[in-house]
Structure 1
Amino acid sequence: MRRLLTPGWLAGHALMVLAVVTCLALGWWQAGRAAEGNTLSWAYTFEWPLFAVFSILIWFREVRLTLRKGRADEPSPGVEPVDDRPRPVITRHVRSTTAEVDEEADPQLAAYNHYLAWLSEHPEARPGDYPAKEYR
């Protein structure tokens, strides 16, 4: 909760309150103009309060994300951290299809197929781990 009391967050809270008050004041002003006969102002009478509600919803979303970020730094029970962060285990199921490729006719396609075959054989590897430099 202390994270929400930093100077940046206090400025954000003040900006949100200012935005809501401004939107409601503009809505009230448009309601007065609409009552005087300006029919276009009826749309703005309802639009400005919607902007105020939108500002409040965005502010709540940012507060929730900030508070969740603090909880995400703590490791979950039963999840072993990798690189100091817990990561889910992802498994890939790759269906292999083989096609006849004339390596002499299209060496670039053959190199790419070799690269894809290597990735399929090493599902835990990342593309940067590919050992054959001449195929890149």
Structure 2
Amino acid sequence: MQWVGKHAHLSIISRSVAMAISMLIVAPLAISYIGCAKRKQPPGSPSGVSSTAVKVKGAYRIAVVPKGVAFDFWLAVKAGAEKAAREEGAEVLWKGPADETEIATQKSIIENFITQRVDAIVMAACDERALVPTVE
């Protein structure tokens, strides 16, 4: 349904509110989930010995990439992500473009986090279509 006339702004506001609520819910849940995840011991390994690195609580690095960093909303998301990380013993790497229209900058930031092999990336895409090849 398209909003027209004097109520057209409600569609934009509704989308922004939905994005805000989802970020406030998803970021802490992702951090909590990672903090609770258990790694299985590889088959054939003796008890207490593993041939692969097993991450302990506090070793998870979670990149959070907002649409922009200049708005109070994203600062609130940052505070929530950092609080959840402290509670779960994870590390949050926060970086985003200065403005929500800087799609190329956001793409570069995400590519950099992928190269760094962080454990998880939580993002609010500036342009969901432009970032598909980057995150696939």
Scaled by the length of structure 1, the TM-score of the pair is: 0.28
> Which structure has greater helix proportion?
1
Select the structure with the greater relative contact order (CA < 8 A; seq sep ≥ 6): 2
Name the larger-Rg structure: 1
Scaled by the length of structure 2, the TM-score of the pair is: 0.28
